[in-house]
Copies of this chain bind each other. A is one copy, B any other.
Amino acid sequence: MAAEQDPEGRAAARPLLTDLYQVTMALGYWRAGRARDPAEFELFFRQSPFGGAFALAAGLRDCVRFLRAFHLRDADVRFVASVLPADTDPAFFEHLRALDCSGVTVRALPEGSLAFPGVPLLQVSGPLLVVQLLETPLLCLVSYASLIATNAARLRLIAGPEKRLLEMGLRRAQGPDGGLTASTYSYLGGFDGSSNMLAGQLRGVPVVGTLAHSFVTSFSGSEVPPDPMLAPAAGQGPRVNLATRVEAWLERVCAHLGLGVQDPHPGERAAFVAYALAFPRAFQGLLDTYSVRRSGLPNFLAVALALGELGYRAVGVRLDSGDLLRQAQEARALFRSAAAQFQAPWLESVPIAVSNNIDEKELARLAQQGSEVDVIGIGTSVVTCPRQPSLGCVYKLVSVGGQPRMKLTEDPEKQTLPGSKAAFRLLGSDGSPLLDLLQLAEEPAPQAGQELRVWPRGAQEACTVRPAHVEPLLRLWVQQGQLCEPLPPLAESRALAQRSLSRLSPAHRRPELPAGYQVALSEQLRALVQRLSAGASP
């Protein structure tokens, strides 16, 4: 399987991005003559994150990229040798040098699918040694991606469909590709865009951004713009000195607002003029560097109205401190009165963007009925998932040499479900998911309209269900190292996520205290679990 020519390949995970114990186990398997035993692992989580009932599956595109490029370079093998016993058989290192994923098969939930506890996000089968080595990188690539996609989906549910949600957390992420992953998968989960340029370049995420406080404070007002002239938007007519026009508008705006013309900060105004000269079609005012009411708003209005004369429309304002909801209301009221006063009706609906440590609670407040906020930028709360910073995915051996395997342990929470499995989503007549069914791979698929006896996980008794529709959940993406179908574009996975969520019943969808979603075992799978549990201490 050749590595693809992929601009991201260089930043992507490498084979040694794994735990040492995967490598020591590899030697153990090899020494026991079991390196090529056919094995299957399942990657899943045990509990939905954030107290919700669902997660979104994500990270598959990174896994596929990783698998296709998987190859230990000489330097990698030398490093492995340096941490293994000095008398390790050199033939083991030859085995590692020749290793790739040409024997690996991956079934998985499509990215953007709803995922529930215990249902595999990935099924990975292939030679025991190599599929064991893949454990840590696959967990690393899937867990955080799915966590952040789920977090973004929750924030989208809280914000409602209308608000524009922007991810701005790169600086708060766990290093460079913590940021890249966060931007990519928060978009998949329902955000509209990201501030992260690299996510735009490498992943096609829409990128957004205008200016920061440093731009504003860098101007004192005494700077002389080398070229203050601006042509009208339509391209017809003479160029106009924007700085001069802004000063003229400032007098009218201050008179209207009852402020002195010396109240608004001249450096802030100079910064706005400089930005407007560079971006006449995309001027946004950052209002809170000095004082929103006495400086930011009048300076913004003066620049926006001067641009308006030339046929340009300001694209918005941003508030980044204080009571964002209240300030947005005040700003909107001011825009309305200025729109009337200066016969500039477009001013009424200038989008108001807010940012500043917005969490789920504050987001709900900003999204409430009557809010004048249009755009919400979220950083820390989306990328770090403070409510639950890890999804806790696991990767468990379910069969080897065709025989089912099970971790029993004395902690029932940590028991695994044995055997190679199929998974189905059973749907009601309205198309909403009723439960997910796990069964052995060799069992016939459940049929729509037919009654079925199943064992809900954690329940002591079986129940019957008659699904109106049945959907197989796991798709074959990689067979013996070959990609079976191209991964869908990110925007398509994003649309799938929104479709999937809209089909979920409100009781399962709501972010707080949702109804639990059932995952059930087939009778045969349940019988296998019973049999292996009983045989634990032979």
Contact = CB atoms under 8 A, between A and B. Distances in A.
A200 B22 CA distance: 14
B83 A200 contact: yes
A462 interface: no
A10 B143 CA distance: 24
A55 to B, nearest CB: 15
A212 B21 contact: yes
Give the one of A137, A170, A175, A213 with max B CB within 10 A.
A175
Contact of A393 (B171, B218, B274): B171
A19 B209 contact: yes
Give the one of A7, A29, A403 with max B CB within 10 A.
A29
Interface in A405-436: 405-411, 414
A291 interface: yes
A441 B538 CA distance: 76
B289 A209 contact: no
A223 B34 contact: yes
A174 B214 CA distance: 29
A344 interface: no
A178 B180 contact: no
A516 interface: no
Contact of A536 (B177, B219, B291, B388): B291
A282 interface: yes
A538 B81 CA distance: 69
A327 to B, nearest CB: 10
A439 interface: no
A28 interface: yes
A19 to B, nearest CB: 4
B17 A196 contact: yes
Contact of A140 (B20, B25, B170, B409): B170
A24 B218 contact: no
A106 B538 CA distance: 66
Contacts of A137: 176
Interface string A189-215: 000000111101100000111111111
Contacts of A12: 176
Given A17-B196, A282-B85, A291 B537 contact: yes
A246 to B, nearest CB: 14
Contacts of A218: 29, 34, 37, 39, 128, 397, 400, 405
A292 interface: yes
Nearest to A213: B407
Contacts of A395: 214
Interface stretch (A259-267, A366-374, A453-461, A489-497): A259-267
A326 interface: no
A21 B144 contact: no
B19 A196 contact: yes
A98 interface: no
Contact of A321 (B177, B226, B410): B410
B209 A179 contact: no
Interface string A290-322: 111011000000000000000000000000011
Contacts of A140: 170-171, 173, 175-176, 179
A536 B262 CA distance: 11
Contacts of A174: 144, 173-175, 177-178, 181-182, 383
8 contacts: A11-B14, A174-B175, A175-B180, A217-B406, A218-B397, A290-B408, A291-B537, A321-B411
Closest 10 pairs (CB-CB, A-B): A174-B178, A20-B209, A21-B209, A174-B174, A384-B389, A139-B171, A19-B195, A178-B178, A33-B226, A32-B274
